[in-house]
Structure 1
Amino acid sequence: MKKLITYLSLCFVTALQAQDIKLSTKDNDLKLAALPYYSYGKGLGITSADSLFQLNIRFRMQNRIGYIQNEGEDAAYDGQIRRLRLRFDGYVGNPKYLYVLQLSFAPGDVGEIHEGNNINIIRDAAVIYRPDKNWSFTFGQTKIPGNRQRVNSSGALQLTDRSLNNSKFNIDRDFGIQAYYLHEEKDRFSYNLKTAITTGEGRNWTKSPDNGVAFTGKIELFPLGSFKKNGSNFEGDLAREESPKILVSGAAHQNNHARRTQGETGSDLYEQRTMSSLFGDFMLKYNGWSGMVTYMKRMAKNPITVNPLDAAQTNYVYTGEGMDYQLSYVFPSMYEIIGRYSFQNVHKDIQALTPNTREYTLGLTKYVWEHAFKVQTEFAYDQLSFGDGSAKDNWYIRFQIEFGI
């Protein structure tokens, strides 16, 4: 707790000492998108007559239907509103004082309601102070700076969802304070530095006071300059970069005394565990081509926890590592073909409890209005290898429409 108080104090002092540079509302929208949330345009905006208040309203939804065939099970159809989001952002009093609020309403977003758990409607609720064009200080609940695909909006994906490694190894939204130094320039070497100190318990946690804290640090390098239209924050080269653009990033995260199987997400552990995560990303875009490589790893000592009232019941930290390889091309007609290969190897401590997985995915997307209105189809084939030597083959085909402002 002393470290947290010291960190908050340093951030506050730094903010007060920062150079006083006037910011335009255009800059605000750019940097709010860099949280990042994908937006094509600015949604529906309201600005007061005295320009002391601004409110932007956006919504988006993903409607999905799929056919699933898991080995040893009956085939099934799945139709659902996968995501339904309402977002508000703007400033109050001065463009330096920003806010963002995002609510979710789809069942898959909110999650199943269990006795004693909070309903998960609130995704983001944060206040941002931007003393100048480089520094940004955030207080509240929002995404913490993990791997690239997770930090990107789910509305800015090429395929219908994130990779299987993101579903198991990512770090999620959390409550705390974040300090960013953003130094992106168009045609020269650039970089961003991002840090966060958070509770480590994830969204809307109020079950009990916390005795742990999570630390996150990330560096992003742009060797050839920044991407067009903030293109590092959405998948696919929709901007058709005229010269190659590269992003290389690395992040580290430690969650002390975590209570859940995946840190900020997952089911409850029977005992608290400290876990560490590493992330590495590479992105290349040029003339419609886009390639991404991602590495993710989670580590924890004694990951298996046992119910003290029943030794037959266990739960475990999902430890292991995985990689994603993704390649795509956007035709001038705004059709895009995407291929992704992912592998996931669980740690030896939990091999008897969960399988290693290989996933092969092929997708076709038609962008009607960039990522804000698109039609997506996807086929995925999974190979599961269990610790006892058995194996399973599963596959699904999926159709999805994304629509929003």
Structure 2
Amino acid sequence: MKTKIPFIGLLLLVINFSSAQEIKSNQFGKGLFNIVGKDSSWTMKVGLRAQLLATSMWNEGEANETSFLVRRSRLKFDGYAYSPKLKYKIELGLSNRDISGASVYTGNAPRYILDAVVMWNFYDNFVLWFGQTKLPGNRERVISSANLQQVDRSLLNSRFNIDRDMGFQLRHHFNLSNTFVVKEILSLAQGEGRNITTGNLGGYQYTGRLELFPFGNFKSKGDYKGAALNREQKPKLSLAASYDINNNAVKTRSNQGSYMLTDTGFFETNINTLFIDAMFKYKGFSFMAEYSDRTAEDPIAKNSDGTPTGDEVQVGSGINLQSGILFPNNWELSGRYTHIKLDQNITGRDPETQYTLGLSKYVVGHSLKVQTDISYLDRFGGNNQVMYRLQCEIHF
């Protein structure tokens, strides 16, 4: 209960402070309210959202497991400071799942901060980001959990995503023609994930991403939202690729997973991750495809005498295909196919394939929706799984 007090106090402080400013209440789903400084030198939009989830799982040969929880609960602030060319975003986690992962590397403190980043449009179409935020990895991870087409992300994301980190990003875009848009992102990060307080234990993480829009930009950034809620009247396509190099990485999944500890400290190895993805939308139809491949210079962690520690880099590949049909009444039927093949000789894990069928009702877009899905997980070594989920999202 005590962990929630700072957030309640922070929200009350914002509301109290804003009494001396110009406040504009927003349409539902567009933030709780906007604050504008009297001299218009700064703005702040305050948002709040929650996901309420029920899950039931049947594992082959095991008893049924059921759980109910607040899957996500977030408090968000964004706007500009001093100039519209200097924007910021702060997102804080409130639920247990949001703040989990505390360790000696995070000061043994809950990981409240999800995003804390400033974005400076210093010249033309160039924008420099600095802070903690999502790296430009696979599309599904960069899509906000508030805007997902199904209850949650796929197995490909859980195995290969590079999530959030602290560092710099340089972003740029230009037009090849009246409709053909190209976007580039370069990133330099610490390489160990979010909220690390112990400094850089390994090397640095370098990420590059290229995105192509042959038919122009999607409406309202729809290339990073699930479902075809904007009902594009002309076909829209985004083709993209990211390549990530984590130099002297010390964790089993690049900047994610567990630390690879040895008898003398940390095991370091270079980890490379490739992402190729696409998003297509036309009227009520949407299709997203992703491929990921991860390699490591030396994937097996070893002690000083050469004996394995039991930790290994999760090397392998995966593919995820997802599509949906949005009906005129804003009900959507979606399907997903995911296949993961980790290197069995290194990880000891069998290939697995998951099939998911989803049904969503968008009451007010992604801001108020109910989603349900059922998945069958086929593990080649046995112990297959059936999972049913029901989730409600509310987003102010």
**Which TM class, normalised by the smaller chain length?**
0.7 to 0.9
- Please, which of 353, 356, 359 is the counterpart of residue 358 of structure 1? 353
Partner of 1:367: 362
Matched, 1:280 2:269: no
Aligned-partner SS, 1:392 = coil
Q: CA deviation at 1:115?
A: 5.1
Q: CA deviation at 1:257?
A: 1.0
- Please, which of 64, 85, 98 is the counterpart of residue 75 of structure 1? 64
Aligned-partner SS, 1:165 = helix
Partner of 2:165: 174
Matched, 1:289 2:285: yes
Q: CA deviation at 1:114?
A: 4.0
Partner of 1:15: none
Matches of residues 213-292 of structure 1 in structure 2 within 5 Å? 213-270=204-261, 271-292=267-288
More divergent stretch after superposition (101-110 vs 155-164): 101-110
Q: How many residues align structurally?
A: 362
Question: What is the RMSD of the two structures over their aligned residues, measured on CA atoms?
Answer: 2.0
Mapped to 2, the partners of 1:358 and 1:100 lie a distance apart of 36
Mapped to 2, the partners of 1:379 and 1:179 lie a distance apart of 39
- Please, which of 113, 128, 139 is the counterpart of residue 119 of structure 2? 128
Q: Is the 8 A contact 2:201 2:250 kept in 1?
A: no
Matched, 1:330 2:330: no
Q: Is the 8 A contact 2:274 2:294 kept in 1?
A: yes
- Please, which of 374, 377, 382 is the counterpart of residue 379 of structure 1? 374
User: How has the CA–CA distance of structure 1 residues 252 and 115 changed in structure 2, closer, same or farther, with 3 Å as cutoff?
Assistant: closer
Can you list the C-alpha shifts for 1:363-401, whole angstroms capped at 9, x where unaligned? 00000111111100010100112xxxx322111100000
Report % sequence identity: 35
Q: CA deviation at 1:160?
A: 0.8
List runs of 5+ in structure 2 lacking aligned partners.
Answer: 1-27, 262-266
Mapped to 2, the partners of 1:250 and 1:106 lie a distance apart of 32
Aligned-partner SS, 1:397 = strand
Q: CA deviation at 1:274?
A: 1.1
Relative to the length of structure 2, the TM-score reads: 0.87
Matched, 1:86 2:86: no
User: How has the CA–CA distance of structure 1 residues 267 and 133 changed in structure 2, closer, same or farther, with 3 Å as cutoff?
Assistant: same
Partner of 1:339: 335
Mapped to 2, the partners of 1:156 and 1:196 lie a distance apart of 24
- Please, which of 26, 32, 38 is the counterpart of residue 49 of structure 1? 38
Mapped to 1, the partners of 2:121 and 2:29 lie a distance apart of 23
Q: Is the 8 A contact 1:248 1:283 kept in 2?
A: yes
Q: Is the 8 A contact 2:29 2:395 kept in 1?
A: no
- The amino acid across from 1:371 in the alignment is H
Mapped to 2, the partners of 1:308 and 1:161 lie a distance apart of 41
Partner of 1:146: 137
More divergent stretch after superposition (256-265 vs 244-253): 256-265
- The amino acid across from 1:124 in the alignment is D
Can you list the C-alpha shifts for 1:297-319, whole angstroms capped at 9, x where unaligned? 11102212145699575111111
User: How has the CA–CA distance of structure 1 residues 308 and 80 changed in structure 2, closer, same or farther, with 3 Å as cutoff?
Assistant: farther
Partner of 2:186: 195
Q: Is the 8 A contact 1:330 1:336 kept in 2?
A: yes
Q: Flag as ranges the 4+ runs of structure 1 deviating above 6 A.
A: 184-187
Q: Is the 8 A contact 2:151 2:372 kept in 1?
A: yes
Q: CA deviation at 1:133?
A: 5.7
Matched, 1:317 2:306: no
More divergent stretch after superposition (327-336 vs 311-320): 311-320
Aligned-partner SS, 1:131 = strand
Mapped to 2, the partners of 1:399 and 1:340 lie a distance apart of 16
Q: Is the 8 A contact 1:186 1:225 kept in 2?
A: no
Partner of 2:386: 395
List runs of 5+ in structure 1 lacking aligned partners.
Answer: 1-38
More divergent stretch after superposition (302-311 vs 142-151): 302-311
Mapped to 2, the partners of 1:255 and 1:165 lie a distance apart of 19
Q: Is the 8 A contact 1:215 1:253 kept in 2?
A: yes
Mapped to 1, the partners of 2:205 and 2:260 lie a distance apart of 17
Mapped to 2, the partners of 1:373 and 1:59 lie a distance apart of 12
Q: Is the 8 A contact 1:187 1:224 kept in 2?
A: no
